[in-house]
């Protein structure tokens, strides 16, 4: 059985630029932990991979206590009716949205 991903927060590295950022543990190395950012913060983009020390990555409590815990914040929508409803809603919103040329 595949273990669920370990999700936690970051504190300390890069002069505090990533403090409180959610990240997923990708691998452990002799130099520290490689984590993928689950959100953007400052100049760091969602999905970026960064190296942090062990003491700078803090797994969420549920991941430490229950290995079978699934990440509820990023749950998978499998119901086709829900997917169709979301698709319809966002297509409608995108089609009526104002287009900006980037100037204010």
Q: Say how far apart CA 94 and CA 103 lie, in whole Å.
A: 20
Question: 86 in a domain, yes or no?
Answer: no
Rg (CA), the chain: 18
Question: 79 in a domain, yes or no?
Answer: no
Give the pLDDT score at 3.
65
Element (H, E) at 7: strand 7-10
Range of the domain at 30: 1-68
Q: Supply the pTM of this predicted model.
A: 0.56
Question: 97 in a domain, yes or no?
Answer: no
CATH code (residue 32) = 2.30.30
Number of domains in the chain: 1
pLDDT in tens, the chain (104 residues): 566 788 999 998 888 899 999 999 998 888 889 999 999 998 999 999 999 998 899 888 755 554 444 444 434 455 667 767 777 777 777 777 655 555 54
Question: 104 in a domain, yes or no?
Answer: no
Q: Say how far apart CA 47 and CA 90 lie, in whole Å.
A: 23
């Amino acid at each position: 059985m595949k273990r669920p991903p370990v999700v936690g927060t970051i504190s300390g590295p890069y002069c505090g630029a990533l403090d409180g950022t959610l990240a997923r543990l990708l691998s452990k190395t002799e130099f520290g932990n490689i984590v993928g950012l689950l959100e953007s913060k400052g100049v760091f983009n969602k999905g970026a991979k960064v190296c942090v020390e062990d003491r700078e990555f803090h797994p969420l409590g549920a991941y430490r206590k229950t290995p079978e815990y699934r990440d509820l914040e990023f749950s998978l929508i499998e119901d086709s009716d829900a997917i169709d409803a979301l698709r319809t809603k966002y297509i409608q919103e995108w089609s009526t949205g104002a287009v900006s040329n980037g100037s204010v």
